[in-house]
């Protein structure tokens, strides 16, 4: 959990329905970001990033259309205020990687731009031998 400013909270979970951070090919994978920003924040934007090696790509952002990336061909967006809730149906071998949530906004008092991010959360492909 990240709590950088008085009212900011940002958490991430990546895994399967049974709350594990590993998956098998064909599993549905969940990416969830729970957030709370300063009251009356302007231009609030929540985004989810997926990284393989050192290359990170934006997977999802509020007010933006989904664009498929390596390992994530489709998402089901069931987000509600305060929580981004994405399901990646039928995950494949390239769905694994490091995922991160980011929150960007302008403060209502002084219009300063704020940006906070979670640590990376790993999603691992479980081998058929485990």
C-alpha to C-alpha distance for 95 and 125, rounded to whole angstroms:
8
What pLDDT does 85 receive? 94
What pLDDT does 19 receive? 82
DSSP E strands: which ranges in 54-106? Answer: 55-61, 76-77, 83-88, 97-106
CATH of 9-120 given 3.40.50.300, 3.40.47.10, 1.10.3720.10, 2.60.40.10 = 2.60.40.10
CA separation, residue 4 to residues 76, 104, 114, 120, 130 (Å) = 30, 12, 10, 16, 38
Domains in the chain: boundaries = 9-120
DSSP 72: B
pLDDT 10s per residue in the chain (130 long)? 444 445 678 999 999 988 888 899 999 999 999 998 777 788 889 999 998 777 888 899 888 888 889 889 999 999 998 999 999 999 998 999 999 999 998 887 888 888 889 999 999 987 654 4
């Amino acid at each position: 959990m990240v709590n950088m400013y008085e009212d900011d909270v940002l958490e991430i979970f990546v895994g399967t329905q049974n709350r594990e951070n590993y998956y098998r090919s064909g599993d549905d994978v969940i990416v969830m970001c729970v957030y709370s920003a300063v009251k009356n924040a302007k231009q609030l934007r929540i985004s989810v990033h997926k990284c393989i090696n050192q290359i990170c790509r934006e997977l999802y952002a509020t007010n933006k259309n989904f664009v498929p990336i390596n390992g994530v061909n489709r998402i089901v967006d069931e987000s509600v205020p305060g929580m981004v809730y994405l399901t990646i149906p039928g995950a494949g071998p390239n769905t694994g990687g490091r995922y991160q949530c980011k929150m960007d906004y302008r403060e209502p008092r002084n219009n300063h731009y704020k940006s906070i991010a979670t640590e990376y959360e790993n999603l691992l492909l479980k081998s058929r031998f485990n």
